[in-house]
Amino acid sequence: MKASINGRPVIQPLPAVDRARQVTDALAHYVQDARLEAGDRLPAERELMAALAVGRSTIREAIRHFQALGVIETRKGSGTYLLKRVSRDTIHMPLSLDTAHLRDVLLQTLEVRRGIECEAGMVAARRRTAEDLFLIEEKLGEMERVHMEKGTSGPEDLAFHLAVYDATHNPLFRQLLEQMRETFERFWTHPFDRQDFARRSFPFHRTLFNAIAAQDTEAARRETLKILDVVEEDIKEMSK
C-alpha cells in the first residue's frame, strides 16, 4: 500500500539511523583507514566517546555488535583488540529486496524470521547467562515503558529481540536479523498509517522472557510463534 495525496505518490521519509549504527560504521571506517590488523588495539572508550560525541552506552552497544560478529575481543584491564580486519561492507550486508512492494517483502522476511527466531529463542533459553537475562529484561522494561506511554514500541521491540539473539552466544543469529532490520525499521515508522500495529503481541514478550529465564525451550518457541503470528495477521489485515 503506497501513501498518496490527491492520487499522487508521496515520497516517504528516510528511516532514522540510530546512534549505535553510526558508531559501528565509524569504527569500521577507522579500522579500514588506519589499516589495523588482527592483534591491534582499538581506541579506549573515553577516546571514542570524545571523538564521536556519544555516550558510554552507545559505544558499548557498538562494541557488543562487533563482539557478536567475532571481530574484536575485550581484555579486562588491557583494552579492546581487533581479531580480524573489517570494513563497512563486511559488517552490513543488506539483502536485495524489492521495497516497492513492502507488504510482500515484509511477509517474505517474516517467513525467514519465523524459523530463525524460534530457534534463537530455544537456544537462548538453553545458553543464557545471568548477565544475558539482565540485559534482556532491561530492554524489555524499556519496551514496556514506551509502550505504556505511547502505545507503540518499534525500536525498543527490536532491541529486545536483539538481546535475545545475543543470549544465544552464536553471532550468526544477530547477523541474520541485522540484515532484515532496516526493512522492519522503515515499516515501523508508519506501519500502514496505524499506530496499533502488532499491539496484541505486546504481552507475549514478557512471557517469552519468562520462558528464557526458566530455560524452557519449548515455551520459548511457542511464545515466539505467538508474537510472529500476530505480526503476520496485522500485516495482512492492514494491507488489504
Tell whether 3 is covered by a domain: no
Residue 80's nearest CA partner among 100, 60, 97 is: 60
Residue 221 has what pLDDT?
97
* Boundary (domain end) residue, out of 30, 55, 90: 90
Domain identity same for 80 and 105: no
**Distance of alpha carbon 130 from alpha carbon 21, whole angstroms:** 26
**Distance of alpha carbon 98 from alpha carbon 81, whole angstroms:** 38
Q: What CATH number is given to the structural domain containing 193?
A: 1.20.120.530
Tell whether 57 is covered by a domain: yes
pTM of the model: 0.60
* Boundary (domain end) residue, out of 40, 69, 90: 90
- Structurally, the chain folds into a number of domains equal to 2
Q: What is the pLDDT along the chain (240 residues), one digit of tens a residue?
A: 444 455 555 454 434 456 777 888 888 888 888 888 888 999 998 998 888 888 888 888 888 878 877 788 888 888 899 887 776 655 554 455 555 566 777 788 888 888 999 999 999 999 999 999 999 999 999 999 988 888 776 678 888 988 999 999 998 888 777 667 655 655 555 555 556 666 788 899 999 999 999 999 999 999 999 999 988 887 777 766
Tell whether 166 is covered by a domain: yes
Residue 186 has what pLDDT?
57
Domain identity same for 126 and 226: yes
| Assigned C-alpha cell, 101 | 512492494
Give residue 214's domain range: 96-238
Cβ(165)–Cβ(173) below 8 Å: yes
Residue 132 has what pLDDT?
96
Tell whether 170 is covered by a domain: yes
Residue 16 has what pLDDT?
44
Three-state SS at 214? coil
Domain identity same for 149 and 34: no
* Boundary (domain end) residue, out of 49, 65, 90: 90
Three-state SS at 197? coil
Tell whether 6 is covered by a domain: no
Q: What CATH number is given to the structural domain containing 58?
A: 1.10.10.10
